[in-house]
C-alpha cells in the first residue's frame, strides 16, 4: 500500500504540497482530481520517484521515499512503479514492439515474447506491433505507452492526465483499458485528472486543493 | 516589425549573457582555426621573404649574374670589360667553409671597386672602405666578436682569419645569418678562380647583354634576378602546399565546431525564435541576426586567433628556419616581422568560415514554423534523402576515377586536386548511407538496450550526425592520407638510401650533413687510396647546369665500380648499361629528370656541345631538380678537372667500419674531413626528413584535438534536443551508467562510421597525393607503404576519444530536471 503523511514540496517560493496526507490500498484505481496548480502532478512525481520529498513521510509498498535523492531511486523506479505520460513519450524511431520492450532492455531484464504479445493483446494492438509511433493514432500511441508501462510488471502505475492529448471517444477507450488492466493484473493505478468523466472510471476519487488532500 | 538589431539583441545578446560557455566555445573554435592558419601563412611567407631578402642583399643592385663552373680565371675577366660601356660588373667568389661543426657561406667581393653593386655597412654605420686581411660577419653570427681569430676549414684546409668587423646591413638589408664576407684578395689564393660576375645594366639592355655573355661564356649560367627568385618559389612550393593543406583542415574543423555550437544554441532558443516570429519579426531578420552572430564569433575569435597565431608562428618559425637554412639561406632565425597581408588574409578567412558555418543553423532557425528538424518528435530520417545521398556519393566516386584517368592522360597535377575535391564530396555524401547501414547491421547483431537506443537516436538525428561524421571523416581522411604519404615517402627514401649508400665510409670536407661543399684535397685522396684497410675508393663530383632551360644537378663517379656495388632501381633501360656508361659515353638520368624533360632510355641529352645517349633511367631522390649521372671521364671532358666533393671508401673484407673510421681519422688528422660510416649517413638523412615533416605531425595532433571537441559538441547538441527522451529513459528505470553506455554506443557509432569512411578516404586521398599530385608535380615515384600500425593506433585513440567524449555530456543528463523535461515544458 501507499502511505503519505504530511508531505511538503516547495519550488523556490512556491509551495506545491503543503502537508498532503493520504492512504491508498494495493490494487486500487484512484483518480486524483484538482484544478491546475493544485499539486496533483507534484504528488504523482513524488510517487514516481522522479522528484524528492522536502518534508513528511512517503512509503510505497514498503519503500521509504522521503530523504532520498532522485538518483538513488532508480532501483525503486525499475521494480515498483511505471509512468504513463500525457503525450505518450514514445521514442519515435522505435517500433511499437521496441518501445514496449525498451524498459526491460534498459533494466537488463529478459524479454518474454509471450508476455509482450499478451500485453499487445490486452491493449488491442496485436496487428500494429511493428508500426512506428508516427503511423499510429493518438489513442494507439497511448495504448502502446500503457503496454510499455506494464512490461516490467510494476506494482504501481502512475498516469498524469493520460487522456489530456486525446479526443473524448479515444480517451474513454484508454480509460476503459486502464480499468481492465487494473482488474486483470491487479495493478494499483494512480491517475491525475481534472476531468469528471475520467474520474468516473476510477474506484475512488481523491480531491486535492492548494497542496492538500480533501478527505 | 522588429529590426535586425532588435532581434539580434533579444536572440543573441541576452542568451549569451546567460550561457557564457557557449560563446566561449564558439570563439575558441574560430580562434584555434585562425591561429593555425595564421601561423602557417606567417611562417611560409616569412621564409620565402627571408630567402628573397638574402638573395637581394647579396646581389645588391646587380640585375644579372654570371656563374661559371669551373670558375673564371682572373685573366678572363678582362674579356667582359665591354660591359662597362652599358653598365658595370663586379667579380665575386662564393665558397663554403666550416667552423666548429657549422657551415658558413664565404662571399668574396672587391671591397674597393664593388660599391656600386653592394654596400656592406658595419655596426658603426660605415661602409667598408678598404680591403683588409680580415673577414666581416653578420651582427648575430655565432663565430665570434670583432678582433677574434677564428679557424675556418675551406676545402679541407684550415685557415686562421681575423674578424675585422660586424656587418649590420648589406645593400640596406639583413645579411644572411651564416655569411662571412671577405675581400677577393683573401679568397682568390684559396679558390684560385672567381665564381662569377654580378652585373648591373639598364633594363632595356638586359636581354642583349645576357645573350652576348652567353655566347662569350657558353658554359656559364647567366640568370636575371627574377629568374633566380623563380627558382626559390619553386623550391618552396612543395613545402607551402603541405602546410596550407593542413591549415585548411584546421579551419574546416574549427568551422564545424562553430556550426555545431550554433546549432545547439539555436535548438535551445526555439521558443524565443517562435515568440519573435509570432510578434511579427520577419524570417529574414532572424536569419540575418543568426548570420551576424556567426560573423561576430569570427570577428572576436579571429582576434584571439591572430594573437595566438603570431605566438605559434614565432615558435614554429624557429623550427622551420633550422631546416630551411640547412638547405637554403635565411637571413633571420626569428620571426622578426609579420606580413600584414598574411595576417589580414587569415583574419578574413576566419570570419568567412565562421559566417558560413552559421548559415545552416540560421536557415533552420528562421524556418516558419520552426524547421522540421528542430521540432520535437520529427525524425530526420528519410529514405528519399538517403537515396539522394547515395546517388551523389556514387557520382562523386565516378568523378574521382575520371580525374585520375585525366591526370594520367594530361600528366597534370591539377586533376589530382580535382580528384581530392571530388573525394571530399564523395565522403560527405556517403556518410548518411554508411551510417544507416552500420546502425542496421548493429541492430541485427545485437538486441541490447544500448544498441537499440543508440541506433534509434542516430536514425532520428540522421542529418546532424551525418554532418558530424562527414566533418570527422574529412579530418581523419586528410590526416590519414598525409600520414600515408609521409610514411611512404620515408620508406621509399629509406629504401633508396639503402641501395645507394653501399660504401663502408664516406668522406667530405664539410661537417654539414646536408650539403656537399668544398672539395677534397688530392693529398687526402692519395692517403685514402694507399690506406691498408681500403679495397677501393670512388669519388663524387657534382655541379649544377641548365639543360633546356631547367636547372639540373649533374654528378659523376667511377660508374663501373659504383653500379657494381649499388644496383639502381631502374625505371627504364638495361641494367647492364649502368656499368658501361664510360665505355658507351652515355649517362644515367633520374626519374625526375626524365619526366621533366620528357626523355627516356634510348633518347639523347645535349649538354653544351656534347650529345649523350641516355642509357638508363633510375630512381634517385637526392634532387627534385633532376639528376644526371655520368662517368668521371665525361665530367672532366665537360667541366675540366675538378677535385671531388666527396669520396666513398670500400673496405677490405673482414675489416670493421668502426676500426677503419678510427684509423682513417688518424691518417687524416692534418685535414678537416668529415668521415661517416654508412649507417650514420642514412640516419642523418632520415633525421632531416623527419624534422621537415615535424610540423605536419603537430598539425595532425591539433586536428585530432579539434575533432574530439567536435564529437563532444555533437553529442551535447543531441542530448539537448533529446532531454525529454533522456528524462523518459530515467523514468523507465535506466541508471546513470546505463545512460552513459547508450551515449557511448552512439559516440562509437559516430566515430566508427567515420573510421570506416576515413579508411577508404585515406586510401583514395593518399593514392591521389602519391600517384597523381606528387608524381606529376615533382616527377618521382613514391612506393605506397601504408603504416598499418600507426593507422590502427589512430583508430584505437579515436575510439577511446569517443568513449571519453560520451562522458562529457553526462553532466547534462545528471542535472536534468525530470518533471519539467517529462512534460516537455522546456524546449
Mapping DSSP onto H, E and C, the string for B757-789 reads HHHHHHHHHHHHHHHHHHHHHHCCCCCCCCCHH
Beta bridge partners, A14, equal: A11
Write A71-78 long-range contacts (CB < 8 A, 24+).
A71/B736, A71/B814, A73/A49, A74/A49, A74/B730, A74/B733, A74/B734, A74/B735, A74/B736, A76/A49, A77/A48, A77/A49, A77/A50, A77/B730, A77/B731, A77/B732, A77/B733, A78/A107, A78/A152, A78/B733
Q: Is B96 left (phi over 0), alpha (psi -120 to 50) or beta?
A: beta
The A204-209 sheet, strands edge to edge: A81-84, A156-160, A188-193, A29-33, A204-209, A212-214
Tell me which DSSP letter residue A215 carries: -
C-beta atoms of B731 and A91 within 8 A: no
Most confident range, picked from B81-95, B255-269, B349-363, B526-540: B526-540
Q: How far is the C-alpha of B748 from the C-alpha of B740, rounded, in Å?
A: 12
**Torsion angle in degrees (nearest 10) through CA of A122, A128, A133, A136:** -90
Let me know: does B420 contact B768? Beta carbons within 8 Å.
Answer: yes
Residues in chain A: 215
A86 interaction partners in chain B (CB closer than 8 Å): 823
Longest dimension (CA), chain B: 101
- Cα R_g (chain B), whole angstroms: 33
* Minimum-distance CB partner of B377 among A51, A92, A98: A92
Predicted pLDDT at B236: 62
- The verdict on A95 touching B (C-beta cutoff 8 Å) is no
B264 to B447, B604, B801: CA distances (angstroms)? 30, 67, 21
- The verdict on A102 touching B (C-beta cutoff 8 Å) is yes
Let me know: does A56 contact A66? Beta carbons within 8 Å.
Answer: yes
How many CA atoms within 13 Å lie on the side-chain side of A162?
Answer: 35
Q: How far is the C-alpha of B479 from the C-alpha of B702, rounded, in Å?
A: 10
Predicted pLDDT at B30: 81
C-beta atoms of A106 and B729 within 8 A: yes
Q: How far is the C-alpha of A46 from the C-alpha of A126, rounded, in Å?
A: 34
Residue A60: φ, ψ to 5° = -125, 110
Q: How far, rounded to the nearest angstrom, does the alpha carbon of residue B332 sit from its chain's CA centroid?
A: 20
Beta bridge partners, B165, equal: B136
Locate the chain A residue with the closest alpha carbon to B456: A93
Q: Does the pLDDT at position B271 exceed 80? A: no
Q: Does the pLDDT at position B130 exceed 60? A: no
Tell me which DSSP letter residue B374 carries: G
Q: How far is the C-alpha of B15 from the C-alpha of B265, rounded, in Å?
A: 9
* Minimum-distance CB partner of B733 among A71, A91, A106: A106
C-alpha cell at position A24: 491508498
**Is residue B149 reached through a cis peptide bond, with omega within 30 degrees of 0 on the bond before it?**
no
pLDDT band at B246 (very low <50, low <70, confident <90, very high): low
B814 interaction partners in chain A (CB closer than 8 Å): 71
C-beta atoms of A105 and B447 within 8 A: yes
Let me know: does B306 contact B351? Beta carbons within 8 Å.
Answer: no
Q: Does the pLDDT at position B373 exceed 50? A: no
Longest dimension (CA), chain A: 50
Note if the pTM is more than 0.80. no
ipTM of this complex: 0.86
- The verdict on A78 touching B (C-beta cutoff 8 Å) is yes
Predicted pLDDT at B132: 59
C-beta atoms of B728 and A85 within 8 A: yes
The mean pLDDT of B756-776, rounded to a whole number, is: 88
End-to-end CA distance of chain B: 25
Percentage above 90 pLDDT, chain B: 10
Q: Please list, in sequence order, all residues whose beta carbon lies within 8 angstroms of the beta carbon of residue B311, skipping any fewer than 6 positions away.
A: none
- Best mutation site among A9, A43, A50 for testing chain B: the one with the most B CBs within 10 Å? A50
Residue owning grid cell 558530424: B468
The mean pLDDT of B205-233, rounded to a whole number, is: 79
Q: Does the pLDDT at position B510 exceed 60? A: no
Let me know: does A206 contact A25? Beta carbons within 8 Å.
Answer: no
Let me know: does A84 contact A149? Beta carbons within 8 Å.
Answer: yes
Predicted pLDDT at B514: 46
Residues in chain B: 827
Q: Does the pLDDT at position A158 exceed 90? A: yes
A78 interaction partners in chain B (CB closer than 8 Å): 733
How many CA atoms within 13 Å lie on the side-chain side of B101?
Answer: 0
C-alpha cell at position B619: 630512381
Average pLDDT, chain B: 80
pLDDT digits (tens, 9 = 90+) for B111-121: 777 777 777 77
Locate the chain A residue with the closest alpha carbon to B451: A105
C-alpha cell at position B297: 564569433
The mean pLDDT of B335-356, rounded to a whole number, is: 79
Task: Please spell the DSSP secondary structure of A33-87, one letter per residue.
Answer: E--TTSSHHHHHHHHHTSS--SEEEEEETTEE-TT--GGGGHHHHHHTEEEE-TT
Distance from CA of B12 to the nearest CA of A (A): 28
Q: How far is the C-alpha of B97 from the C-alpha of B104, rounded, in Å?
A: 5
Q: How far is the C-alpha of B688 from the C-alpha of B681, rounded, in Å?
A: 11
Predicted pLDDT at A168: 85
Distance from CA of A147 to the nearest CA of B (A): 13
C-beta atoms of A50 and B730 within 8 A: yes
Task: Please spell the DSSP secondary structure of B540-558, one letter per residue.
Answer: EEEEEEEETTEEEEEEEE-
Report the interhelical angle of B694-721 vs B283-327 (nearest 10°). 160
Which uninterrupted H or E stretch holds B65?
Answer: strand B64-72
pLDDT band at B516 (very low <50, low <70, confident <90, very high): very low
Using alpha carbons, select from A124, A119, A149, A122 the residue that is nearest to residue A136.
A124
Q: How far is the C-alpha of B542 from the C-alpha of B538, rounded, in Å?
A: 13
Using alpha carbons, select from B345, B481, B304, B489 the residue that is nearest to residue B44.
B345
Which uninterrupted H or E stretch holds B476?
Answer: helix B462-500
Distance from CA of B403 to the nearest CA of A (A): 40
* Minimum-distance CB partner of A51 among B447, B736, B819: B819
C-beta atoms of A106 and B379 within 8 A: no
The mean pLDDT of B451-459, rounded to a whole number, is: 85
Let me know: does B119 contact B136? Beta carbons within 8 Å.
Answer: no
C-beta atoms of A91 and B728 within 8 A: yes
A105 interaction partners in chain B (CB closer than 8 Å): 447-449, 452
**Torsion angle in degrees (nearest 10) through CA of B699, B704, B705, B708:** 160
Q: Does the pLDDT at position B66 exceed 50? A: yes
C-beta atoms of B456 and A94 within 8 A: yes
How many CA atoms within 13 Å lie on the side-chain side of B287?
Answer: 12
B460 interaction partners in chain A (CB closer than 8 Å): 91-93
**Is residue A175 reached through a cis peptide bond, with omega within 30 degrees of 0 on the bond before it?**
no
Let me know: does A52 contact A69? Beta carbons within 8 Å.
Answer: yes
Locate the chain A residue with the closest alpha carbon to B724: A89
Let me know: does B606 contact B638? Beta carbons within 8 Å.
Answer: no
Least confident of A168-172, B118-122, B793-797: B118-122
The alpha helices in B626-722, defined as continuous H runs, are 632-639, 657-667, 678-692, 694-721
Handedness of CA B308, B313, B318, B320 (dihedral sign): positive
pLDDT digits (tens, 9 = 90+) for B164-208: 888 888 877 777 778 899 888 888 888 888 888 888 888 888 888
Q: How far is the C-alpha of B423 from the C-alpha of B727, rounded, in Å?
A: 41
Report the interhelical angle of B736-767 vs B694-721 (nearest 10°). 140
- Best mutation site among A98, A101, A106, A135 for testing chain B: the one with the most B CBs within 10 Å? A106
Distance from CA of A16 to the nearest CA of B (A): 13
Residue owning grid cell 621564409: B47
Predicted pLDDT at A159: 92
DSSP helix/strand/coil, B86: coil
Locate the chain B residue with the closest alpha carbon to A89: B728
**Torsion angle in degrees (nearest 10) through CA of B587, B592, B597, B600:** 50
Using alpha carbons, select from B485, B467, B437 the residue that is nearest to residue B786.
B485
Q: Does the pLDDT at position B565 exceed 50? A: yes
* Minimum-distance CB partner of A91 among B456, B730, B818: B456
The mean pLDDT of B153-161, rounded to a whole number, is: 79
pLDDT digits (tens, 9 = 90+) for B608-655: 788 999 999 988 887 777 899 999 888 888 877 777 888 899 999 998
Tell me which DSSP letter residue B624 carries: S
pLDDT band at A145 (very low <50, low <70, confident <90, very high): very high
C-beta atoms of A102 and B459 within 8 A: no
Q: How far is the C-alpha of B376 from the C-alpha of B587, rounded, in Å?
A: 75
The mean pLDDT of B51-77, rounded to a whole number, is: 74
Amino acid at each position: 500500500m501507499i502511505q503519505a503523511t504530511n508531505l511538503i514540496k516547495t519550488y523556490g517560493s512556491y509551495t506545491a504540497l503543503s502537508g498532503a496526507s493520504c492512504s491508498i490500498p494495493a490494487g486500487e484505481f484512484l483518480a486524483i482530481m484538482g484544478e491546475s496548480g493544485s499539486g496533483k502532478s507534484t504528488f504523482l512525481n513524488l510517487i514516481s520517484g522522479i522528484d524528492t520529498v522536502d518534508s513528511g513521510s512517503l512509503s510505497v509498498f514498503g519503500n521509504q521515499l522521503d530523504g532520498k535523492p532522485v538518483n538513488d531511486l532508480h532501483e525503486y523506479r525499475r521494480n515498483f512503479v511505471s509512468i504513463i505520460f500525457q503525450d505518450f513519450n514514445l521514442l519515435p524511431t522505435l517500433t511499437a514492439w521496441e518501445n514496449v520492450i525498451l524498459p526491460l532492455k534498459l533494466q537488463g531484464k529478459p524479454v518474454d515474447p509471450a508476455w509482450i504479445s499478451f500485453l499487445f493483446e490486452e491493449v488491442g494492438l496485436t496487428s500494429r506491433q511493428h508500426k512506428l509511433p508516427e503511423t499510429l493514432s493518438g489513442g494507439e500511441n497511448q495504448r502502446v505507452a500503457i503496454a510499455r508501462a506494464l512490461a516490467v510488471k510494476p506494482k504501481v502505475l502512475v498516469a498524469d492526465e493520460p487522456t489530456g492529448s486525446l479526443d473524448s471517444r479515444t480517451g474513454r477507450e484508454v480509460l476503459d483499458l486502464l480499468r481492465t488492466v487494473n482488474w486483470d493484473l491487479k495493478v494499483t493505478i494512480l491517475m491525475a485528472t481534472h476531468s469528471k468523466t475520467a474520474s468516473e472510471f476510477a474506484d475512488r476519487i481523491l480531491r486535492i486543493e492548494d497542496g492538500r488532500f480533501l478527505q | 516589425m522588429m529590426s535586425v538589431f532588435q532581434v539580434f539583441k533579444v536572440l543573441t545578446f541576452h542568451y549569451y549573457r546567460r550561457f557564457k560557455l557557449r560563446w566561449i566555445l564558439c570563439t575558441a573554435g574560430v580562434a584555434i582555426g585562425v591561429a593555425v592558419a595564421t601561423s602557417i601563412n606567417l611562417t611560409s611567407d616569412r621564409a620565402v621573404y627571408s630567402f628573397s631578402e638574402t638573395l637581394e642583399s647579396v646581389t645588391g643592385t646587380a640585375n644579372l649574374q654570371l656563374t661559371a663552373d669551373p670558375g673564371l680565371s682572373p685573366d678572363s675577366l678582362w674579356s667582359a670589360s665591354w660591359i662597362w660601356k652599358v653598365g658595370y660588373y663586379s667579380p665575386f667568389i662564393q665558397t663554403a667553409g666550416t667552423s666548429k661543426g657549422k657551415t658558413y657561406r664565404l662571399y668574396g667581393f672587391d671591397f674597393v671597386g664593388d660599391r656600386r653593386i653592394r654596400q656592406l655597412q658595419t655596426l658603426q654605420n660605415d661602409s667598408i672602405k678598404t680591403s683588409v686581411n680580415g673577414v666581416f660577419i653578420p651582427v648575430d653570427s655565432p663565430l665570434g666578436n670583432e678582433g677574434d681569430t677564428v679557424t675556418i676549414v675551406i676545402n679541407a684546409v684550415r685557415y686562421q682569419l681575423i674578424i675585422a668587423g660586424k656587418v649590420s646591413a648589406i645593400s640596406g638589408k639583413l645579411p644572411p645569418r651564416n655569411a662571412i664576407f671577405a675581400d677577393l684578395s683573401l679568397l682568390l689564393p684559396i679558390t684560385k678562380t672567381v665564381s662569377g660576375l654580378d652585373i648591373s645594366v639598364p633594363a632595356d639592355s638586359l636581354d642583349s647583354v645576357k645573350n652576348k655573355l652567353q655566347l662569350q661564356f657558353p658554359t656559364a649560367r647567366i640568370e636575371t634576378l627574377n629568374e633566380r627568385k623563380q627558382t626559390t618559389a619553386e623550391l618552396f612550393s612543395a613545402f607551402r602546399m603541405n602546410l596550407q593543406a593542413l591549415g585548411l583542415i584546421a579551419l574546416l574543423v574549427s568551422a564545424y565546431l562553430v556550426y555545431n555550437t550554433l546549432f545547439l544554441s539555436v535548438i535551445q532558443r526555439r521558443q524565443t525564435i517562435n515568440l519573435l516570429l509570432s510578434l511579427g519579426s520577419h524570417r529574414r531578420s532572424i536569419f540575418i541576426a543568426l548570420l551576424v552572430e556567426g560573423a561576430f564569433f569570427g570577428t572576436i575569435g579571429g582576434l584571439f586567433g591572430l594573437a595566438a597565431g603570431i605566438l605559434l608562428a614565432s615558435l614554429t618559425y624557429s623550427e622551420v628556419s633550422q631546416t630551411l637554412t640547412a638547405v637554403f639561406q635565411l637571413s633571420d632565425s626569428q620571426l622578426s616581422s609579420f606580413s600584414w597581408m598574411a595576417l589580414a588574409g587569415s583574419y578574413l578567412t576566419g570570419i568567412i568560415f565562421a559566417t558560413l558555418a552559421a548559415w545552416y543553423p540560421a536557415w533552420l532557425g528562421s524556418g516558419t514554423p520552426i524547421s522540421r528538424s528542430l521540432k520535437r518528435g520529427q525524425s530526420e530520417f528519410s529514405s528519399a534523402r538517403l537515396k539522394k545521398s547515395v546517388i551523389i556519393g556514387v557520382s562523386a566516386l565516378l568523378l574521382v576515377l575520371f580525374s585520375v584517368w585525366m591526370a594520367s592522360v594530361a600528366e597534370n597535377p591539377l586533376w589530382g586536386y580535382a580528384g581530392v575535391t571530388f573525394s571530399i564530396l564523395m565522403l560527405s555524401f556517403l556518410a548518411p548511407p554508411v551510417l544507416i547501414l552500420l546502425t542496421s547491421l548493429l541492430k541485427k547483431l545485437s538486441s541490447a538496450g544500448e544498441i537499440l537506443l543508440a541506433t534509434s537516436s542516430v536514425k532520428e538525428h540522421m542529418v546532424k550526425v551525418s554532418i558530424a561524421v562527414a566533418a570527422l571523416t574529412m579530418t581523419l581522411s586528410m590526416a590519414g592520407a598525409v600520414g600515408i604519404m609521409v610514411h611512404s615517402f620515408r620508406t621509399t627514401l629509406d629504401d633508396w638510401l639503402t641501395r645507394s649508400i653501399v660504401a663502408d665510409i664516406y668522406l667530405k670536407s664539410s661537417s654539414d650533413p646536408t650539403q656537399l661543399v668544398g672539395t677534397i684535397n688530392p693529398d687526402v685522396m692519395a692517403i685514402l687510396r694507399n690506406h691498408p684497410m681500403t679495397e677501393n675508393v670512388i669519388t663524387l663530383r657534382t655541379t649544377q647546369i641548365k639543360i633546356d632551360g631547367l636547372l639540373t644537378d649533374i654528378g659523376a663517379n667511377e660508374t663501373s665500380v659504383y653500379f657494381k656495388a649499388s644496383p639502381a632501381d631502374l625505371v627504364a633501360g638495361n641494367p647492364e648499361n649502368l656499368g658501361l656508361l664510360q665505355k658507351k659515353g652515355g649517362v644515367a638520368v633520374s626519374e625526375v629528370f626524365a619526366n621533366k624533360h620528357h626523355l627516356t632510355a634510348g633518347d639523347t641529352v645535349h649538354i653544351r656541345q656534347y650529345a649523350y645517349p641516355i642509357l638508363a633511367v633510375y630512381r634517385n631522390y637526392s634532387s627534385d631538380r633532376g639528376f644526371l649521372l655520368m662517368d668521371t671521364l665525361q665530367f672532366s671532358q665537360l667541366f675540366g678537372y675538378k677535385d671531388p666533393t666527396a669520396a666513398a671508401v670500400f673496405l677490405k673484407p673482414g675489416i670493421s667500419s668502426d676500426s677503419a673510421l678510427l684509423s682513417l681519422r688518424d691518417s687524416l688528422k692534418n685535414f678537416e674531413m668529415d668521415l661517416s660510416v654508412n649507417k650514420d649517413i642514412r640516419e642523418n638523412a632520415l633525421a632531416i626528413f623527419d624534422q621537415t615533416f615535424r610540423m605536419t605531425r603537430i598539425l595532425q595532433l591539433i586536428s585530432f584535438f579539434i575533432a574530439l571537441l567536435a564529437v563532444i559538441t555533437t553529442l551535447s547538441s543531441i542530448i539537448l534536443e533529446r532531454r525529454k527522451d533522456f528524462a523518459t529513459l530515467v523514468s523507465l528505470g535506466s541508471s546513470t551508467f546505463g545512460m552513459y553506455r547508450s551515449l557511448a554506443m552512439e559516440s562509437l557509432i559516430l566515430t566508427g562510421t567515420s573510421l570506416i569512411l576515413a579508411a577508404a578516404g585515406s586510401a583514395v586521398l593518399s593514392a591521389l597525393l602519391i600517384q597523381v599530385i606528387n608524381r606529376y608535380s615533382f616527377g618521382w615515384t613514391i612506393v605506397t607503404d601504408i603504416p598499418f600500425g600507426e593507422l590502427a593506433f589512430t583508430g584505437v585513440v579515436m575510439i577511446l576519444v569517443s568513449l571519453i567524449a560520451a562522458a562529457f555530456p553526462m553532466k547534462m543528463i545528471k542535472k536534468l530536471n525530470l518533471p519539467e523535461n517529462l512534460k516537455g515544458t522546456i524546449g
